[in-house]
Amino acid sequence: MKTTLKHILSVLLFSSLVTLLPAEVAGQDLTITGTVISEMDEEPLPGVNVQVKGTNIGTSTDVNGEYEIQISDGLEGEVLVFSFIGYADHEEEIDGRETIDVALEADIGWMDEVVVTGYGERTERDLSASISTVSGEELEESVASRDVAEMLQGQVPGLQVTRSGGGTGTSAEIELRGRGSIGASSSPLFVVDGVIGTPRHVNPNDVESISVLKDADATAQYGARAANGVVLINTKSGQRGETRLNVNTGLGVSNKNTGNFSVLNAQELYGLQEQFRPEIQQEWAETDTDWQDHAFQTGLFQDYDVSISSGTERTRYYVSGGYHREQGHLDGDNFERITGRVNVSHDVMDNLEITTNFSARVEESDNNTFGAAYQAYTNLPWDDPYNEEGELRTGLESDWIGRDNNNFLYPRQYNYNESAWQSYTGNVRLDWTILPWLEFRTTNSATFHYSESESFSDARTPAGADDDGSMFRSEGLSRNLTSTNIIEGESTFDQIHTIGGLLGFEFESSRSTGVSASGIGAAPGLSVLNIMSEPDGVGGGVSESAFIGGFVQAYYDYDDRYSLNTSFRRDGSSVFGADNRFGNFYSIGASWMLSSESFLTDVEAIDILKLRASYGTTGNAAIGNYQAQGIYSYTQSYDGRPGGVPDRLGAQHLTWEVARTTNLGIDIALWNRVELDIDLYNRDNTDLLQSVPVEATTGFTSQMDNIGTVNNRGVEIALTTHNITGDFNWSTSVNFSRNRNEVTELFEGEAMNVGNQRIEEGEDLRTWYMRKWAGVDPETGDPLWEREILDAEGNVEDVELTSNRGEATRQKVGTATPDFTAGVRNTFHYRGFSLTGQINIVQGKDVYHSGRTLFDSDGGYINYNYMDIEEHGWSRWEEPWSEREEGRSPENAPDVDPDHTHPRPMVGGNSNAQETSSRFLEDGSYIRLQTARLSYDLPPAFIERIGAAGITLSVQGDNIWTSTDFSGMDPETGLGGTIGTQNPVPQRVLFNIALSL
Amino acid sequence: MNFKKLTTNIALMAVLLLLFSACDIQDSLELTPHDGVSNEEAIESVDDMERVTQGNYALIINESGGVFAWHYPRQYHEMIEMPGDNVTLPGTTIDPLFEMYTYASTSDQPHISNIWNISYKVIYGANTIIRADENGDIQPETPAEEDRLDQVIGENYFLRALMHFNLANAYAPPYTHGENNPAVPYIDIPGEQVEQPERNTVGEVYDRVIEDLERSSELMNEPKSNAYASSEVADALLSRVYLYMEENEKAIEYADRVIDSGRYNLVESSEYPDYFHQPPENNPETIFAYKHTSEQDREFSAIGSMYFTSEGGTGWGEMFPSKEYRELLHEDDLRWEFIQEELDEDGEPIMHEGQPTFYMTKYAHQTEDEPLLSSPVVLRKAEMYLNRAEANAKLGNESQAIEDVNLIRSRAGLQGDQLYSTGDLGEHDTVLDVVLEERRLELAFESHRSIDVFRNHRTMERDYPGSHQQHGAVTIEPDDPRIVYPLPEREVDLNPNL
């Protein structure tokens, strides 16, 4: 009893994270020592994990491959497991021995790497599910970023990651296996150390591995919210053995990369406008300002990380701190982040482990660009930012020509716009091995987010002048509590039958609150709400959600050859209607290890041949809170009194969106050199949660409903080849994904227009729907669009051209979904050198370049600058076709001008030619050399002399080269495919030193 | 003590407990919003009705839609005023007012759907209250409460009529072009029951508007401030509706009711320049205005933003009073006070795309701090005189018509030969011409002009500088189809009956 109390006490002390208790353990009476070597070269293997099977008792080998492990009474008959990446697991019965030496056999490492799946860990060999993993090392070699999600770009087949800009605060958009949801979020679910989280909040240096769970079998345990896949991020933990200190310093510079895009200079703009603008003045062109020069700069990227990790017999820890700073290549765009993490696990008893992860991040961001990313392209070269005295102009001067009367440099002197975030996540997990075959696990977490944002407009600037200075501040606080409890058992009979299962329950509750206030009238130089002479507005809100789920899973494995996995779960979410909160989800998966069959074991070439199949359902509830409830909102007022405003009709029938996924996969490993995984999938997202447009005559313009089905089917191929092994080592990884998206069912079959896209049965979810541009009238220079003539049945009978945009017919003119995406990575190693290159390919995506409305408007906006169209082989209409050559007559003119792409320019634009049409829809395909990285590990002899364990120097380039026909700055757009004026993703060069002691 | 057994038991109990607690936790899924009331509970008393009615007014001024932060008062104003001849755009603009100004609106433009959406949302709000009353959901307990109920129902009839009437002005030809032209659906049932309604004719919409307004005028019993509807507000709108229908006696009858009610006075000439620079309730001439307080200071999205740039630089200030309008104003006319010429340090006009810069200030400076804050006037007493004058002119009561015109002109500081008599119509051929010109001068920029021209079968002549010149929008005949806005593309997509 005394022992028990002590154990309970140590649990309590430990949870409080005050101290790392070196627990005293009673009853040790056997010490085993030994050496672990590699069978291949008989060299000692450091860092091999040595563990008593079925317990948490373990250690790891030192630099000489030696280990020492103490085991307690009653364990002499147990088995020691030796495991090391790249080698097959080796098991030895202790059988009372005190010395156990082992030689490990090399293995097709990837098959036995531990894959973190749902709530547990399995080896690839056992998996019937479709899972891709990315290791921490692979992340290191990818594009430099503070956002883990962004670093996954091009690395995982089926995962489309895209950045919608190069601002320091921009987050990557992510989709797995195509867009399945319309109104609800189509992003995969992110889970950090077992708790739903945000990738952006994790320091990439802390990441041990990332698992991307794709099919229903893989996501079963997150089934309720896994309709769009799950990405698991696992952070590092301490290992038994010596203390390791890692210091990582990265420094880099970034520069704008505007690709194929440029705007006109003063003379060029004058040359263009004098053709059609009667009021133009020659002296304007005497000023030639390059606004991009004023907007952009060489940015600085800094990253410093320190981590320390170690482990004793019973306690393992990993502690890290990081500082990250980005001075954007857009002046005034800055970002700073401090992260900290403490991951500790401790064996309270031989069968009870407690793990505590605590992480914190503090971020600050300045957004003091004041429209620079827009004005850099639209401001006129004719306007000088400075007056004759060299002072900045406001843009309001009567001789300022540019349309927006803005000079972003002016407010930057006095105004600011800042945001900051803090988040803290604490996570306590208990692993209790109740019986050798039975384990209970509980994971409980609390996350707190605090956000603040403040902006100030000084009385000296146009934005604050009328108010005599104004400021706005908002603060938000949210908390999220989760608890996951699982009881899991696994047992093997007759050495070939393994049967296992788990039963679990989870609960989540979220609440966020916010408050905002603004005031006007500020004493110069001061900016805090308290000094504002008049309150201007106040706001605030509260939002809550809750979620519960129960699940059960069972699996059976026969002789590592056949395995079967089934699961069922039932979940409830507060966002749905009272009678429809709960949904049921299930999955079944099976795999067959063909290469273990007797008829294939003799085939030398085949190391692994495995077939996988799975089917299952998963859910999606990612819509706003309270959507099922019709309400009158009291957020608006009239005459200073609040009024109840009908906000939505309510939909009590609103319920889960369900994805039904079939997955077939094959895993092949040949000649110990080639690894090939192919997956075929078919996923139907049914009962789509969608904000359905309704006739405004009902009083509402949209209503949330479960409507329709979207199908995604496709193929994913991941191929890794070890082309050359040995001293010089070359390996290649290629991944390829082709996804076909189709809306298969809509409510009453009725198509819906959403912005410039159309959701229609039989079509891609991101189908562009706009007036179809035909070109330029050869005789008049007017724009031409297609007009469909319909017969009595409504079928298209004929197509004619019209210069009247109102008469033009909207048509399906392309999709924003790529035909395929691919990533190619080559890695070369020679002695300490290593060179990695990552190429990303996106093919067949139509991008709507909406920015051209502004800077390619044929006179629509005379006081905006124009883009250079000649670079793209385009030209403007100048004279009638019939007058361009002798002997032509207007009657013989072709329908569409063969020589020119752009209409005759005129003040105010030519017949709305700059308004939305397929004219600005472009091929956004690209091939990009995303990253190249050269690193060098200093030779061990040198390292040892200075007492370090390793030093790696590296240099890396990001966004190095792009091939594309796209006329804009960057073909990499958000998933929606629309691109306006952009702060494009920069080019970066980075230097990095990693030191480990 | 068998430790292993104990731990096993504890573990199993813990798991069972957690699983059972799931049943209790189900209640935690019952969450309701904090900033609203469920539809079922929203209207349960007269107090509730008053609050939701307040919300209906709020919708008119607050609800925004489309890509820009536009609001009903501004967009409706642009739809009526931009096609008129009181305004000129020297350059170009990315604001859709350009399409309205050049008669080039297409069905996918944001203002086209925004005005439609907001109108029907207000109509929905009004219908739910009217329906709750018709169903007898609310039983007043005291005579005082009964009066309040009547008032609030009356206000909702008024709002429903106003929204439909304005919709017809925007999306249908004038009543005088034919009662049977298609207009907009008249919705008087709650939204849940609305299913793909057809367009009512102009005549039907006007009939229903009159019906609602008359009922509204009868029901309302409280002389509320001019930020709200009251009996006289309904009468004033009826006068305008009848004028548009050329039911001239009726137009006069209702104008008289308002004029004789004693509630309103023309502001004095000396105060007239300040007419638009104060909160509406301080103005004895205003019958009804969309009241904006500091909370609704729209700055760059305010109506005034198009016409005016503050010293601090707020406002686009890109739309000027037209040269023709300026030339019609006599130099002594006080209405020059609403126009402000911009001069540089040397006293020279600041030129903008070849035109001198003139700001129009009817939508500016409701307070000193908020240069673009204004409460757009919907109905004011001067219009009642001009309604009566126009109706009288059409009925041949020439001297009565001239009398009202002279009243307005005197107030504008004009006297002597600047006033008219039946024998001296200045350069005008008919008394109606005199009345219409005065209406143009007095109610300029107050969302009347294009309607007044076309309902009188007159031609819009815009023979003055401005970018409309290059876009085929100089002379627009009353039968030009471009004078009617297209129905929103989005609505036609959703409702084939439109």
Residue type, A125: R
CA distance A126 to chain B (A): 27
- As given in the structure block, the two tokens for residue A864 are 């905006």
* Residues in A touching B314 (Cβ below 8 Å): 462, 465-466
User: Which residues touch A845 (CB under 8 Å, ≥6 apart)?
Assistant: A815, A816, A817, A818, A819, A923, A924, A925, A971, A977
- A695–B196 C-beta distance less than 8 A: yes
Q: Say how far apart CA A253 and CA A579 lie, in whole Å.
A: 56
pLDDT at A654 over 90: no
Question: Among partner residues B3, B29, B121, which is closest to A699 by beta-carbon distance?
Answer: B121
* Residues in B touching A396 (Cβ below 8 Å): 309, 313
Q: Say how far apart CA B453 and CA B440 lie, in whole Å.
A: 9
Alpha carbon distances (Å) from A335 to A140, A291, A375, A653: 21, 23, 22, 44
CA distance A174 to chain B (A): 25
Q: What percent of chain B has pLDDT over 70?
A: 93
Question: Among partner residues A395, A581, A632, which is closest to B55 by beta-carbon distance?
Answer: A632
Question: What is the mean predicted confidence (pLDDT) over A993-997?
Answer: 87
Residue type, A596: S
CB atoms within 10 A of CB A258: 18
CA distance B39 to chain A (A): 5
| Predicted local confidence at residue A26, as pLDDT | 39
Alpha carbon distances (Å) from A394 to A366, A412, A460, A461, B133: 21, 11, 10, 7, 57
Question: Among partner residues A435, A638, A915, which is closest to B61 by beta-carbon distance?
Answer: A638
- As given in the structure block, the two tokens for residue A84 are 């090391």
Q: Say how far apart CA B86 and CA A587 lie, in whole Å.
A: 70
| Predicted local confidence at residue A110, as pLDDT | 42
pLDDT band of residue A741 (cuts 50, 70, 90) is very high
pLDDT band of residue A6 (cuts 50, 70, 90) is very low
pLDDT at A166 over 80: no
Residue pair A566/A502 in contact by the 8 Å Cβ criterion: no
Question: Among partner residues B62, B94, B372, which is closest to A636 by beta-carbon distance?
Answer: B62
- As given in the structure block, the two tokens for residue A216 are 């229903």
| Predicted local confidence at residue B268, as pLDDT | 94
Question: Among partner residues A507, A534, A908, which is closest to B471 by beta-carbon distance?
Answer: A908
| Predicted local confidence at residue A964, as pLDDT | 94
A196-210, A500-514, A651-665, B24-38: lowest mean pLDDT where? B24-38
Report how far Cα A603 is from the mean position of its chain's Cα atoms. Answer: 42
Q: What pTM was estimated for this model as a whole? A: 0.79
The secondary element (H helix, E strand) that includes residue A565 is: strand A562-573
Per residue in B61-114, pLDDT (tens digit) is 986 654 445 689 999 999 999 999 999 998 877 788 889 999 989 888 888 888
pLDDT band of residue A128 (cuts 50, 70, 90) is low
Q: Say how far apart CA B164 and CA A890 lie, in whole Å.
A: 50
Question: Among partner residues A634, A647, A695, which is closest to B494 by beta-carbon distance?
Answer: A695
* Residues in B touching A405 (Cβ below 8 Å): 313
User: Which residues touch A321 (CB under 8 Å, ≥6 apart)?
Assistant: A305, A306, A307, A338, A339, A340, A341
Per the rule left: phi > 0, alpha: psi between -120 and 50, beta: everything else, A197 is beta
Alpha carbon distances (Å) from B301 to B11, B253, B304, B316, B372: 64, 38, 8, 9, 9
- A697–B120 C-beta distance less than 8 A: yes
For residue A723, the SS3 value is strand
pLDDT at A29 over 70: no
| Predicted local confidence at residue B54, as pLDDT | 95
CB atoms within 10 A of CB A830: 13
Residue type, A141: E
Q: Say how far apart CA A803 and CA A787 lie, in whole Å.
A: 10
- Which residue of chain B comes nearest to A439, CA vs CA? B11
φ and ψ at residue A947, rounded to 5 degrees: 80, 20
Higher pLDDT, B68 or A348: A348
Q: Say how far apart CA A832 and CA A21 lie, in whole Å.
A: 39
Q: What percent of chain A has pLDDT over 70?
A: 93
* Residues in B touching A637 (Cβ below 8 Å): 54, 58, 62, 295
- Test the B interface: residue of A431, A466, A705 with most B CBs within 10 Å: A466
| Predicted local confidence at residue A21, as pLDDT | 32
- B99–A644 C-beta distance less than 8 A: no
Residue pair A332/A409 in contact by the 8 Å Cβ criterion: no
Question: What is the mean predicted confidence (pLDDT) over A698-716?
Answer: 88
Q: What long-range pairs does A65-70 form, CB within 8 A, spacing at least 24?
A: A65/A35, A65/A36, A65/A37, A66/A33, A66/A34, A66/A35, A66/A36, A67/A33, A67/A34, A67/A35, A67/A36, A68/A31, A68/A32, A68/A33, A69/A31, A69/A32, A69/A33, A70/A28, A70/A30, A70/A31, A70/A32, A70/A313
- B29–A466 C-beta distance less than 8 A: no
Tokens 């002691």 appear where? A997
pLDDT at A540 over 90: no
- Test the A interface: residue of B4, B13, B113, B121 with most A CBs within 10 Å: B121
| Predicted local confidence at residue B65, as pLDDT | 53
- Which residue of chain A comes nearest to B313, CA vs CA? A462
A119-128, A375-384, A607-616, B91-100: lowest mean pLDDT where? A119-128
Alpha carbon distances (Å) from A69 to A74, A436, A814: 15, 20, 65
| Predicted local confidence at residue A43, as pLDDT | 72
Tokens 């490993």 appear where? A669
Q: Give the residue among A438, A280, A805, A215 at the shortest CA–CA distance from B102.
A: A805
ipTM for the whole complex: 0.90
CA distance B336 to chain A (A): 23
- Which residue of chain A comes nearest to B22, CA vs CA? A548
| Predicted local confidence at residue A214, as pLDDT | 81
Alpha carbon distances (Å) from A817 to A151, A752, A978, B293: 21, 18, 12, 47
- Test the A interface: residue of B9, B15, B129 with most A CBs within 10 Å: B15
Question: Among partner residues B98, B228, B371, which is closest to A466 by beta-carbon distance?
Answer: B371
Question: What is the mean predicted confidence (pLDDT) over B35-63?
Answer: 89
CB atoms within 10 A of CB A889: 9
| Predicted local confidence at residue A728, as pLDDT | 87
| Predicted local confidence at residue A72, as pLDDT | 72
- Which residue of chain B comes nearest to A432, CA vs CA? B11
* Residues in B touching A645 (Cβ below 8 Å): 52, 55-56, 58-59, 63, 125
Q: Please report the sign of the dihedral spanned by the C-alpha atoms of residue A390, residue A396, residue A401, residue A405.
A: positive
Higher pLDDT, B344 or A867: A867
Per residue in B263-280, pLDDT (tens digit) is 999 999 999 999 999 899
| Predicted local confidence at residue A95, as pLDDT | 77
Question: What is the mean predicted confidence (pLDDT) over B197-220?
Answer: 97
Question: What is the mean predicted confidence (pLDDT) over A899-924?
Answer: 91
- As given in the structure block, the two tokens for residue A842 are 């996106």
- A536–B294 C-beta distance less than 8 A: yes
| Predicted local confidence at residue A941, as pLDDT | 83
| Predicted local confidence at residue A4, as pLDDT | 42
Per residue in A249-284, pLDDT (tens digit) is 999 999 999 889 999 999 999 999 999 988 889 999
3-state secondary structure A600-616: HHCCCCEEEEEEEEEEE
Residue pair A45/A38 in contact by the 8 Å Cβ criterion: yes
Residue pair A853/A915 in contact by the 8 Å Cβ criterion: yes
| Predicted local confidence at residue B399, as pLDDT | 95
φ and ψ at residue A708, rounded to 5 degrees: 85, 175
Q: Say how far apart CA B14 and CA B20 lie, in whole Å.
A: 10
Question: What is the mean predicted confidence (pLDDT) over A807-815?
Answer: 92
A135-144, B53-62, B420-429: lowest mean pLDDT where? A135-144
| Predicted local confidence at residue B194, as pLDDT | 81
3-state secondary structure A279-347: CCCHHHHHCCCCHHHHHECCEEEEEEEEEEEEECCCEEEEEEEEEEEEECCECCEEEEEEEEEEEEEEE
Question: What is the mean predicted confidence (pLDDT) over A144-154?
Answer: 80
- A906–B39 C-beta distance less than 8 A: no
For residue B134, count CB atoms less than 10 angstroms from its CB and return exposed for 0-12, middle for 13-18, buried for 19 or more. Answer: exposed
- A644–B48 C-beta distance less than 8 A: yes
Q: Residue B43 has what DSSP assignment? A: -
CB atoms within 10 A of CB A580: 17
Q: What is the mean pLDDT of chain A?
A: 85
* E-assigned strand segments in A39-158: 49-52, 58-60, 66-72, 79-83, 90-93, 102-104, 114-117, 120-123, 131-135
| Predicted local confidence at residue A831, as pLDDT | 83
| Most confident stretch, A15-29, A152-166, B370-384 | B370-384
- B124–A700 C-beta distance less than 8 A: yes
